[in-house]
Amino acid sequence: MAERCSRFAESRDKALELFASKGFGQVGMRELASHLGLTPGSLYHHYPSKQHLLLDLIEEFYDELLDTLGRIERRRKAPDDRLRTLIRAHLKLHRELPRHFRLVERDSGCLNPDQQERVRQLREQYERRLLMLLGPLPRLGDAVLLATGHAIASLLNNAPGWLAEQPLAEHERETLLEHLLSGALERLLNSAPQSAVA
């Protein structure tokens, strides 16, 4: 049983690698099955469509993000320390899960409407937890709160790409990203617009 689970996890990793390198829309079920060393029928047994596999990989990504926030929440640090810890944790996740980040950013739109709604719910759950972790925030209306959470998540999730092509040592890149993100996020959190409704 453990060997079968291990092979299945390995197959998911191979699928993620193929989707990330070629793009989800460029991979057919036959090619995917062949890449995984499966017959198309065997693949369909686990996933009725490529979209189901894509959704599974995206859910895995959000599970990792939410687990990371949970670990930070349990540490009970001061707000400044939480922000630094959060930035470092996101940079670490980028190093560990670069294909997941690319897949979520590039291919979520390939899902059907119900699956896209599921991804939207996961994203909003993550963004709200992010705000709670960084709070307290000024009193914000729902729309401004959602926009603030989305902006923070976008900064954290896209920042490593800013310097990917720069000829920097890894520690230089990480330090520069930490400074850029902490400056931007501190400013954003300290100047979030007040809600018009008291």
Calculate the alpha carbon distances from 7 to 10, 12, 13, 36, 63 in Å. 5, 9, 10, 10, 21
Instruction: Specify the amino acid at residue 17.
Output: E
Q: Are 186 and 137 in contact (CB under 8 A)?
A: no
Indicate the residue type of 76: R
DSSP tag of 76: -
d(CA 187, CA 198): 23
Determine the pLDDT at residue 134: 84
What is the pTM assigned to this prediction? Answer: 0.85
> Which domains does the chain show, CATH number per domain?
1-48 (1.10.10.60), 50-190 (1.10.357.10)
Alpha-carbon distance 61 to 67, whole Å? 10
Q: What is the pLDDT of residue 137?
A: 67
Q: What is the dihedral of CA 24, 112, 70, 130, to 10 degrees?
A: 100
Provide the pLDDT for residue 6.
Answer: 56
Flag residues of the chain having pLDDT under 70: 1-8, 137-140, 191-198
